[in-house]
Amino acid sequence: MWVRIGFVLLSICSGIMVFVYAMAWLLIPMEGESSNIYSRAINDRRGIRLIAAILIPVLIALQLITSTLHLGFVGFVGWPTLLAVGVVILIWRNANESEKAFIDHDVVPLLGADTHGDGRRWLMARVALGVLVGAGGIVLLVEGHTTAAALRPVGGTALVVAASVIIFGPWWLSLVRDLIAERQARALAEERAQMAAHVHDSVLQTLALIQRSSDDPQNVVRLARAQERELRAWLFEGRPPGAIGEDATMLGEGVGLLQRQVEADHGITVQVVMVGDCELDEALRALLDAAREATVNSAKWSGADQVSVYAEVEADTVMLYVRDRGQGFDPDAVPEDRQGIARSIRARMTRFGGSAVIRSAPGEGAEVQLSMPRRQRVR
Euclidean distance between CA atoms 47 and 63, whole angstroms = 24
Q: How far is the CB of 269 from other proteins (least distance, A)?
A: 6
Cβ neighbourhood burial of 245 (10 Å; 0-12, 13-18, 19+): buried
| Cβ-based nearer residue to other proteins, 101 or 273 | 273
Contact 222, 265 (CB under 8 A): no
| Cβ-based nearer residue to other proteins, 126 or 325 | 325
Q: Are strands 269-275 and 306-313 parallel, antiparallel or unpaired?
A: parallel
| Cβ-based nearer residue to other proteins, 86 or 365 | 365
Contact 369, 321 (CB under 8 A): yes
355 binds other proteins (CB under 8 A): no
| Cβ-based nearer residue to other proteins, 57 or 276 | 276
| Cβ-based nearer residue to other proteins, 160 or 287 | 287
94 binds other proteins (CB under 8 A): no
- The residue from 21, 92, 310, 352 that contacts other proteins (CB under 8 A) is 310
- The residue from 269, 327, 339, 371 that contacts other proteins (CB under 8 A) is 269
308 binds other proteins (CB under 8 A): yes
Q: How far is the CB of 304 from other proteins (least distance, A)?
A: 10
Euclidean distance between CA atoms 127 and 112, whole angstroms = 9
Q: How far is the CB of 378 from other proteins (least distance, A)?
A: 8
Q: How far is the CB of 308 from other proteins (least distance, A)?
A: 3
| H helix or E strand, kind and range, residue 357 | strand 355-360
367 binds other proteins (CB under 8 A): yes
**Residue 328, helix vs strand vs coil:** coil
Q: Within 13 Å of residue 320, how many CA atoms lie on the same side as its CB?
A: 32
317-350 residues labelled b (16+ CB within 10 A) or e (exposed) = ebbbbbbbbbebbeeeeeeeeeebbebbbbbbbe
| Cβ-based nearer residue to other proteins, 219 or 269 | 269
323 binds other proteins (CB under 8 A): yes
Three-class secondary structure assignment of 139-160: HHHHHHHHHCCCHHHHHHHHHH
How many residues belong to the site for other proteins (CB under 8 A)?
14
Binding interface with other proteins (CB under 8 A): 269, 271, 273-276, 308, 310, 312, 315, 321, 323, 325, 367
